[in-house]
């Protein structure tokens, strides 16, 4: 699998665009200042929020960066923020804000470009099984139709542990797919909510997932059930009920099982049962599954990456590199499925062979 750097390229273009606006359109400077400062505030807010909750022990208590919607048209994050009043600022203040904002953009670009140069994102060495084909979303991407993807889950979908919204897995996935299909209208909606597991997710399944009319649902589930000592069999039964509803809505579905991290592996028996049962449900209902637990274990045991190389200090959530590599491998599988559709290869979704690109 080749390494991709969609974030470095996009961020570099952003810096160039900012510079062009400042040089060529003097009349729009106050507006540009306010927009840049707003994006900087979003990133700062995400970091501040994460810092406040760093010491919590359970995923059930985590609060992550705000939910975001990323689209091919905007490539940005939608979040609530107070609007600055550029008219009330002196030119020196505006210049200072702009300078700091541009420095922040440059820092984000450098960080994004450095993530995989520091540690390459490699597929599992053992060729672990993964998600199967995604005929619905692949056919739409292959024919240039608009695509809606809903990332459904708890705090690791919401993005706890990432240093900014740009580095959550849904946003990383969106950027990868936009790079692969630059003319496609792709929307990735983040519906992660910290602390939830199957019972809570079922309560918001209709309004936050099905009502979005998704072409693909990526459902991350099971971690909080392990941490809360819930019965894995009951969780699997609830997940199966949710799968039936999602399939009835006409969407492709990929399950994402728990992460391999100290807080989860400390409950080894429960975690093992959860991973096994989610795999069985996926097979029974003919949906894809991304084996996050096995992929992350491969990072540590076969690729010799230290746990702290992909998990933050709370021993549970992934860091920027972990989210980025997870998104990269997930995106590779989606791209592979599109390629199969274009070649006329109809691979049933219940045939889950993982042959990384």
Cα(288)–Cα(311) distance, integer angstroms: 25
Strands 288-290, 147-153: pairing kind: unpaired
Cβ-based neighbours of 317, under 8 Å, separated by 6 or more: 59, 62, 155, 156, 160, 161, 259, 261, 311
Report pLDDT for 212: 98
Residue 24 burial by Cβ neighbours in a 10 Å radius (0-12, 13-18, 19+): exposed
Report whether pLDDT(209) > 60. Answer: yes
Q: What is the percent of the chain with per-residue pLDDT over 90, rounded to a whole number?
A: 54
Cα(330)–Cα(171) distance, integer angstroms: 12
Sign of the torsion formed by the C-alpha atoms of 139, 141, 146 and 151 = positive
Closest CA to 322 of 356, 298, 357, 302: 298
Q: What is the DSSP string of 193-261?
A: -TT--HHHHHHHHHHHTGGG--SEEEEE-SHHHHHTT--HHHHHHHHHHHHHHHHHTT-EEEEE----S
Report pLDDT for 10: 43
Name the residue with tokens 């672990």: 128
pLDDT in tens, 152-197: 999 999 999 999 999 999 999 999 999 999 999 999 999 999 999 9
Domain residue ranges in the chain: 123-342
DSSP 314: T
Report pLDDT for 95: 56
Report pLDDT for 344: 63
Q: What is the DSSP string of 152-173?
A: EESHHHHTTT-SSGGGSHHHHH
Across the chain, mean pLDDT equals 76
Q: What is the DSSP string of 258-297?
A: ---SHHHHTTHHHHHHHHHHHHHHHHHHT-EEE-HHHHHH
Report pLDDT for 106: 52
Strands 147-153, 216-220: pairing kind: parallel
Higher pLDDT, 83 or 111: 111
Closest CA to 270 of 227, 221, 300: 227
Q: Per-residue pLDDT averaged across 339-343, rounded?
A: 73
Higher pLDDT, 266 or 336: 266
The residues pairing with 318 across neighbouring beta strands, listed in sequence order, are 311
Report which listed range, 39-48, 112-121, 216-225, is most confident.
216-225
Q: What is the percent of the chain with per-residue pLDDT over 70, rounded to a whole number?
A: 62
Report pLDDT for 33: 37
Higher pLDDT, 135 or 299: 299
Q: Per-residue pLDDT averaged across 263-267, rounded?
A: 98
The residues pairing with 290 across neighbouring beta strands, listed in sequence order, are 256
Name the residue with tokens 């022990």: 57
Higher pLDDT, 116 or 95: 116
Contact 64, 158 (CB under 8 A): yes
Report whether pLDDT(248) > 70. Answer: yes
Report pLDDT for 348: 46
Domain at 123-342, CATH class: alpha beta
- Angle between helix 91-118 and helix 29-52 axes, rounded to 10 deg: 50
pLDDT level of residue 118 (50, 70, 90 thresholds)? confident
pLDDT level of residue 124 (50, 70, 90 thresholds)? confident
């Amino acid at each position: 699998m080749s390494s991709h750097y969609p974030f470095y390229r996009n961020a570099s273009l952003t810096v160039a665009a900012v510079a062009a606006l400042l040089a060529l359109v003097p009349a729009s400077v106050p507006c540009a200042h306010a927009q840049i400062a707003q994006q900087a505030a979003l990133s700062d807010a995400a970091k501040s929020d994460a810092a406040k909750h760093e010491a919590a022990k359970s995923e059930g208590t985590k609060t992550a960066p705000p939910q975001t919607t990323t689209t091919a048209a905007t490539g940005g994050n939608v979040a609530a923020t107070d609007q600055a009043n550029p008219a009330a600022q002196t030119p020196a203040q505006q210049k200072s804000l702009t300078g700091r904002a541009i420095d922040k953009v440059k820092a984000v670009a450098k960080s994004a470009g450095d993530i995989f140069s520091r540690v390459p994102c490699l597929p599992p060495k053992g060729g672990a099984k993964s998600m199967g084909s995604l005929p619905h979303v692949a056919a739409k991407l292959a024919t240039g139709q608009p695509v809606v993807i809903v990332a459904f889950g708890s705090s690791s979908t919401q993005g706890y542990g990432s240093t900014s919204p740009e580095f959550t897995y849904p946003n990383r996935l969106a950027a990868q797919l936009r790079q692969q299909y630059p003319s496609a209208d792709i929307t990735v909606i983040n519906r992660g909510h910290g602390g939830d597991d199957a019972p809570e997710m079922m309560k918001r399944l209709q309004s936050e997932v099905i009502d979005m009319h998704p072409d693909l649902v990526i459902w991350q589930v099971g971690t909080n059930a392990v941490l809360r000592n819930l019965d894995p069999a009951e969780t699997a039964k609830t997940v199966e009920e949710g799968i039936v509803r999602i399939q009835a809505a006409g969407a492709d579905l990929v399950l994402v099982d728990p992460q391999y991290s100290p807080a989860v592996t400390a409950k080894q028996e429960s975690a093992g049962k959860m991973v096994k049962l989610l795999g069985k449900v996926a097979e029974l209902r003919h949906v894809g599954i991304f084996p996050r637990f096995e992929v992350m274990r491969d990072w540590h045991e076969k690729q010799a990456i230290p746990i702290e190389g992909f998990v933050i200090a709370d021993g549970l959530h992934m860091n920027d590199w972990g989210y980025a590599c997870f998104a990269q491998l997930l995106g590779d599988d989606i791209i592979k499925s599109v390629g199969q559709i274009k070649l006329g290869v109809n691979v049933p979704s219940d045939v889950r062979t993982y042959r990384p690109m």
